[in-house]
Amino acid sequence: MKPYQFTAVALAAAISSAQADDPVLEEVLVTAEFRPVALLDTAASITVFDAQRIEERSAVHLEQLLNLAPNVNFAAGASRGRFFQVRGIGERSQFVEPVNPSVGLLIDGMDFTGIGGVASTLDLRQVEVLRGPQGTLFGANALAGMINLVSQEPTQDFQGQAELLLGNLDLISVSAAAGGPLGQNLAWRVAVQSNRSDGYQDNLYLGRATNNVDELNVRTRLNWQASEALDLDLTVLLTDVDNGYDAFSLDNTRTTLSDQPGEDKLESVGLALKTRWSLAGGRTLEALLSHVDADSVYSYDEDWSYTGICEGTPCDSDLWGFDWWYSSFDAYTRGNQNTALDLRLLSGGDDRSTRWVGGLYLRDQQQTLNRAYTFAAGDFASRYDTTNAALYGQLDVPLAERWTATVGLRWEQRDWEYSDNSSGLGLSSDDEDFWGGRVALEYRTDNGLLWYGLVSRGYKPGGYNSALAAQLPDLIAAGIE
């Protein structure tokens, strides 16, 4: 698909002219760390895509960016990439089994792990891809890495922009964003995006496009500077996806013959409230409360054909003694609700002083599934509930003028309950404790290069079906930036 992009930027509060003769590299800040830190000052493997890079790619979804990130892939037998892999580790699909993801997905602090269809590029400031175990930062759902999407913040300057993206296959993508002040201490920003396309496949049997894209995303952000010491940031993200799924071609062309084309639907609501208190001594207390409620439908024509596709002698049941053809349909209806609280206390000081952070993390998640399959005696229904509680901390200590050591540690307890209407085992439950963290040593040279060595540990909870034990991999890495 070759898109054609038209961008209009309007309602700018001020226009500044560039007067510098020499180009200046803009500093890129990574927000997924405990503190915003310059990309070139992080002892970790991180890729950052800013708003300009996203626009250059004409990307409307995260999957259109990830092929630029080294050692990162996405997968899903669906209209959009739902699952991510970092350095070869990560899920590629999900059917009836409960899954504990290896790569996490955060959008403005909201946990959308395992719900990749929601990862629109709507009004994003940047996308951060963290490779390797994130045992201190994120814990159980970040064994292989983490993907962090950060949207544009409200400001006291009135701003607005609109974009129209046109392409073949009847692609129409329209997005707009606007924001500004609502008084002296209150600012707002609203962004809307609509994506529509007929998709890459044509269904010759039905004579219509059945792999279409129809997506709507709306984000609202409010920032309130309640006092000199208190700042509150509220984000609401709404997603409505009504995509088709009919992608398998019997003759390896972009045509299908399904008589029961599938769907890839998603309706989700995400809420996040971030509060920052400035305390005495330069310390900061941060609290992030988030909630995600997502309902999805994923279905497909399992035989990818139509009844009567083969007629005559080769398909004669009398000749073979049985009917060789079959027709079946598979549908998965899921509900996913999770609520999380991340409370942390950060010390003051600059990067040449000893700095620390300590925090408490709580998370509760409920996942429900209903599977309707043609050849099953009845619908399969299951419920998977998990609760996580973690304590974490990190210490950054300058050892000398050019040396810095970092030590991070996280303890996490996870309880889970699983039940379904098929196994006959009733309610199953278990609990696990994990230790993760990292130790890093950094050296800054005269010409500004950062050399570092890193040892980190992540963890992945065990499984239910085969009572798989938890995985506790260790990573040893070194790098230069």
Question: CB neighbours of 250 closer than 8 A, spacing ≥ 6?
Answer: 256, 257, 304, 305
Cα–Cα distance between 153 and 36 in angstroms, integer?
A: 15
Is 405 in contact with 440 (CB distance < 8 Å)? yes
Which tokens is 372 given?
A: 């309707």
Residue 7 has a pLDDT of: 35
Residue type, 460: K
**pLDDT at residue number 24:** 46
Residue 22 domain flag? no
Q: Which two tokens stand for residue 292?
A: 């995600």
SS (H, E, C) 19-49: CCCCCCCCCCEECCCCCCEEHHHCCCEEEEE
pTM of the model: 0.89
Question: Could you tell me if residue 17 is inside a domain?
Answer: no
**DSSP reduced 3-state for 314:** helix
Query: What CA–CA distance (Å, rounded) separates 381 from 421?
Result: 6
Phi and psi for 436 in degrees, rounded to 5?
-140, 170
User: Which tokens sit at 328?
Assistant: 């079946």
**C-alpha pair distances (Å), 20 with each of 14, 15, 43, 469:** 18, 15, 31, 59
CA pair distance 33, 355, nearest whole angstrom: 13
Q: Tell me the three-class secondary structure of 361-425, residue by residue.
A: EEEEEEEEEEEEECCCCCCEEEEEEEEEEEEEEEEEEECCCCEEEEEEEEEEEEEEEEEECCCCC
Number of domains in the chain: 1
| Mean pLDDT (10-residue bins), the chain, 481 residues | 39 32 64 86 91 93 94 89 91 88 95 94 96 88 93 96 93 97 95 96 93 97 97 98 93 91 97 97 96 98 88 67 76 98 93 90 98 94 96 94 93 94 84 91 90 89 64 60 55
Whether 443 is in a domain gets the answer yes
| 21, part of any domain | no
Question: Using alpha carbons only, what angle is made at residue 275 by residues 270 and 280, rounded to the nearest 5 degrees?
Answer: 165
Residue 445's domain is classified under what CATH number?
A: 2.40.170.20
Burial class (CB in 10 A: 0-12, 13-18, 19+), 377: exposed
Asked if residue 18 is part of any domain, the answer here is: no
In a domain, 203, yes or no: yes
Burial of 269 per CB tally in 10 Å (0-12, 13-18, 19+): middle
User: Is 20 within a domain?
Assistant: no
Domain that holds residue 403: 3-12+27-480
Question: What is the distance between the alpha carbons of residues 216 and 194, in angstroms, rounded to a whole number?
Answer: 5
